[in-house]
């Protein structure tokens, strides 16, 4: 075990129908005026927006609505949200939606209290304050509901960059797993891939010997695989949707890396270039990158890959474990090759160049120069 500080301040309220508590939670925090941020139309169609509005009304909370957040949220839309938050002098941002809505809400919360352009915080400026963020989550995948990260795409520069700050952890996140029953099976698959990737980044890139954390990771992966298989057969499988939702939250809330020391996020570094340039779903990019990265990395940490194969799939070599994971991605209809999402091999140079910028920003530029990233991507052709 390495020394660590673990401080996760987000209050989680988990269960069916719990979104009706949002007004009372805002009241308890002394909030009287919010910016309610949502996506394209899923929360309108499901009636969730109306239920949340009713809860705000009951709590006597004034609300400005701001819809239209894209999957892979954009800087331009974020900037408009910042202007609205400032104009209406809101005291908090309430995100109702998936990871994209939560991330854009966090960015708006930072921008609302800043004189600088909000993008400055994505390219190095330290976040020192933000409006409080509250969330009602509708799609389990990113862990944004219980972490301090927000990822935004600057379409002009084609950079998909992030902020990571204790100031943007949500104050309260409401997780009603029933809200996720309507998530399409395609996105359910991408979400499973994303949650698995969140835990394997540390699992494979850390020093060996932190077995408790390994077991936590393996428990999350097994739960995600098991519940995804159940959901694929029965999208309304309540128990599976509930366990899947909590597993996805635990996969990126700081729990599994506590005590593992140094680790890195190479799969995410490469994937963010894919979704920055081609606007593909994050999890669909990861199901392409992850097997390729694993095939490239397996000789650098053979014992951990052998452990992964044994613990997750009950098989005996690292290579067979990678093959089994890739095959599972195929069975849930997640893409595993670049051409499956329409990206020709001739684009690899451009993707590698884009990813290299993020590698430098994340302090892994020496390990992952452009040529290495291209070498990994060639394993996904």
Q: Which entry of ligand NZQ, Zn ion, none binds 182, CB below 5 to 8 A by partner kind?
A: ligand NZQ
Name the phi and psi angles at 137, rounded to 5.
Answer: -90, 135
Q: Count H helices, E strands: the chain?
A: 14, 8
Query: Running DSSP on this structure, what letter comes out for residue 262?
Result: S
User: Which residue, 141 or 240, has its beta carbon nearer to ligand NZQ?
Assistant: 141
- What does the longest C-alpha to C-alpha distance in the chain come to? 60
- Shortest distance, position 73 Cβ to Zn ion, whole Å: 14
- Shortest distance, position 89 Cβ to ligand NZQ, whole Å: 26
- Shortest distance, position 282 Cβ to Zn ion, whole Å: 6
25 binds Zn ion, rule: CB under 5 A:
no
User: Which residue, 194 or 214, has its beta carbon nearer to Zn ion?
Assistant: 194
Nearest in space to 238 (alpha carbons), one of 250, 249, 227: 227
User: Which residue, 284 or 306, has its beta carbon nearer to ligand NZQ?
Assistant: 284
- Shortest distance, position 72 Cβ to ligand NZQ, whole Å: 4
Strands 172-175 and 133-137: parallel
- Shortest distance, position 205 Cβ to ligand NZQ, whole Å: 15
Query: Running DSSP on this structure, what letter comes out for residue 345?
Result: G
Nearest in space to 347 (alpha carbons), one of 264, 288, 282: 288
SS (HEC) of 313-343: HCCCCHHHHHHHHHHHHHHCCCCCCHHHHCC
User: Which residue, 81 or 99, has its beta carbon nearer to ligand NZQ?
Assistant: 99
User: Which residue, 104 or 194, has its beta carbon nearer to Zn ion?
Assistant: 194
Tokens 């999402």 correspond to 341
- Measured CA to CA, the distance from residue 286 to residue 187 in angstroms comes to 13
User: Which residue, 119 or 313, has its beta carbon nearer to ligand NZQ?
Assistant: 119
User: Which residue, 97 or 357, has its beta carbon nearer to ligand NZQ?
Assistant: 97
27-38 burial, b if ≥16 CB within 10 A, otherwise e? eeeebeebbbbb
Query: Running DSSP on this structure, what letter comes out for residue 346?
Result: G
Q: Which residues contact 9 (CB under 8 A, 6 or more apart)?
A: 166, 169, 171
Q: Which entry of ligand NZQ, Zn ion, none binds 331, CB below 5 to 8 A by partner kind?
A: none
Other Cβ atoms closer than 10 A to 130: 26
Tokens at 364, concatenated: 């892994």
- Shortest distance, position 251 Cβ to Zn ion, whole Å: 9
Q: Which entry of Zn ion, ligand NZQ, none binds 175, CB below 5 to 8 A by partner kind?
A: none
User: Which residue, 184 or 302, has its beta carbon nearer to ligand NZQ?
Assistant: 184
CA 271 to chain centre: 12
What is residue 113's three-state secondary structure? coil
Tokens at 326, concatenated: 């890739």
- Shortest distance, position 198 Cβ to Zn ion, whole Å: 6
Interface with Zn ion: number of residues (CB under 5 A): 1
- Shortest distance, position 85 Cβ to ligand NZQ, whole Å: 19
- Shortest distance, position 56 Cβ to Zn ion, whole Å: 30
Q: Which entry of ligand NZQ, Zn ion, none binds 141, CB below 5 to 8 A by partner kind?
A: ligand NZQ
User: Which residue, 194 or 356, has its beta carbon nearer to ligand NZQ?
Assistant: 194
The interface with Zn ion within residues 177-216 (CB under 5 A) comprises 194
Nearest in space to 62 (alpha carbons), one of 33, 38, 92: 33
CA 91 to chain centre: 25
Interface with ligand NZQ (CB under 6 A): 39-43, 71-72, 97-101, 103, 138-139, 141-144, 147, 149-151, 179-180, 182-183, 187, 191, 194, 252, 268, 282
Q: Which entry of Zn ion, ligand NZQ, none binds 121, CB below 5 to 8 A by partner kind?
A: none
User: What is the binding site for Zn ion (CB under 5 A)?
Assistant: 194
């Amino acid at each position: 075990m390495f020394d660590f500080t673990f401080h996760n301040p987000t209050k989680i309220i988990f269960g069916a129908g719990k979104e009706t508590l949002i007004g009372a939670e805002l009241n308890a925090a002394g909030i009287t005026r919010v910016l309610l941020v949502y996506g394209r139309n899923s929360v309108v169609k499901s009636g969730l927006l109306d239920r949340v509005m009713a809860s705000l009304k009951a709590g006597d909370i004034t609300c400005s609505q701001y819809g239209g957040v894209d999957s892979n949220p954009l800087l331009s839309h974020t900037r408009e949200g910042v202007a609205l938050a400032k104009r209406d002098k809101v005291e908090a941002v309430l995100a109702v939606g998936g990871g994209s809505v939560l991330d854009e809400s966090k960015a708006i919360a930072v921008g609302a209290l800043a004189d600088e352009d909000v993008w400055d915080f994505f390219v190095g400026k330290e976040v020192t304050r933000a409006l409080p963020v509250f969330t009602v989550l509708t799609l389990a995948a990113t862990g944004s509901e219980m972490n301090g990260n927000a990822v935004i795409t600057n379409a002009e520069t084609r950079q998909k960059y992030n902020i990571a700050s204790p100031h943007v952890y949500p104050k309260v996140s409401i997780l009603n797993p029933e809200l996720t029953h309507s998530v399409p099976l395609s996105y359910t698959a991408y979400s499973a891939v994303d949650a698995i990737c969140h835990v394997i980044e540390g699992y494979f890139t850390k020093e060996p010997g932190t077995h408790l954390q390994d077991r936590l990771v393996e428990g999350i992966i097994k739960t995600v695989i098991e519940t995804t298989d159940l959901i694929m057969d029965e999208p309304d499988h309540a128990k599976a949707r509930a366990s899947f939702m909590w597993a996805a939250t635990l996969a990126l809330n700081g729990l599994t890396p506590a005590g593992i020391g140094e680790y890195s996020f190479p799969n995410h570094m490469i994937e963010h270039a894919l979704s920055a340039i081609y606007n593909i779903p994050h999890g669909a990019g990861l199901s392409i990158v992850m097997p390729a990265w694993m095939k490239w990395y397996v000789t650098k940490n053979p014992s951990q890959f052998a452990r992964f194969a044994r613990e997750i799939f009950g098989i005996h070599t690292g290579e067979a474990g990678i093959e089994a994971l890739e095959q599972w991605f195929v069975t849930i209809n997640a893409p595993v090759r670049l051409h499956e999402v329409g990206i020709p091999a001739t684009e690899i140079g451009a993707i590698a160049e884009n990813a290299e910028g993020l590698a430098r920003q994340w302090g892994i530029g020496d390990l992952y120069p452009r040529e290495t990233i291209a070498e990994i991507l060639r394993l996904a052709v």
